[in-house]
Amino acid sequence: MTAPEGRGIAGRRDTFRILHVSTGNVCRSPITERLTRHALVDRLGDPLSGGLIVESAGTWGHEGAPMEANAEVVLADFGADPSGFVGRELLDEHVIRADLVLTATRDHRAQVISMGHSAGLRTFTLKEFTRLVRAIDPATLPDPREGVVERARALVRAAAALRGWLLAPTAEADEVYDPYGAPITFFRSVGDEINQALDPVVTALTGVGAPH
């Protein structure tokens, strides 16, 4: 089975599902999930009303676990909501439903793609996707006033088309390193790194810049 263009195999036409993937789903991907949601609320008010759904899972996910306490602190630093989070192990159904999969590292990306489900064209590391998005002219994307979902699908197609042409300056440039077990200072540096990578992505998805 091949995925319909620009969306997950099981994707609904009125929604666009973003899946963040790391290893344990207790540090990096929860931070990225909740920062994405926070940024979408800043720009759209209610991202669900625009059809955007943000989730996360881990390739060795701690099923049912809370996020790390230091991850909660980082989210609070940004004013994002850490409450109610429950860790998940990455399953086929998560990949099947996702319209865009953003991973912490290249290894996570390879693991997602190896699961099949035509995931290759919609799976990127977070920093890789940021780099590609920066090279896309927003004027070539659908007007967000006509629907954020269609704009998001077009953004993924454009990024996939650029991938072979716009390579990372170094292998490490596309990685977000694991802060698990590290002190809060390292968690905060990872949080800053993720937040900076997300900003142009959310702006491109919504057509709305970060509020000042």
What is the enclosing helix (H) or strand (E) of 169?
A: none
Angstrom distance (rounded) from CA 24 to CA 179: 11
The structure tokens 């676990």 sit at 65
The beta strand positions in the chain, using DSSP E, are: 16-22, 52-58, 100-103, 123-125
Partnered with residue 89 across adjacent β-strands are 58
DSSP structure class, residue 20: E
pLDDT at 33: 98
Q: Measured over all CA atoms, what is the biggest interatomic distance in the chain, rounded to whole angstroms?
A: 45
Phi and psi at residue 196, to the nearest 5°: -65, -35
The residue among 75, 85, 66 whose CA lies nearest residue 35 is 75
Q: Which strands make up the sheet holding 16-22, listed edge to edge?
A: 52-58, 16-22, 100-103, 123-125
| Lowest-confidence segment of 15-19, 41-45, 111-115 by average pLDDT | 41-45
**Per-residue pLDDT tens for 92-125?**
999 999 999 999 999 999 999 999 989 999 999 9
Contact 72/80 with Cβ under 8 angstroms? no
The beta strand positions in 23-122, using DSSP E, are: 52-58, 100-103
What is the percentage of the chain residues whose pLDDT exceeds 90? 79
Partnered with residue 52 across adjacent β-strands are 16
pTM passes above 0.85: yes
**Per-residue pLDDT tens for 116-161?**
989 999 999 999 999 999 999 999 999 988 889 999 999 999 999 9
Tokens at residue 181, please?
């077990």
Partnered with residue 102 across adjacent β-strands are 20, 124
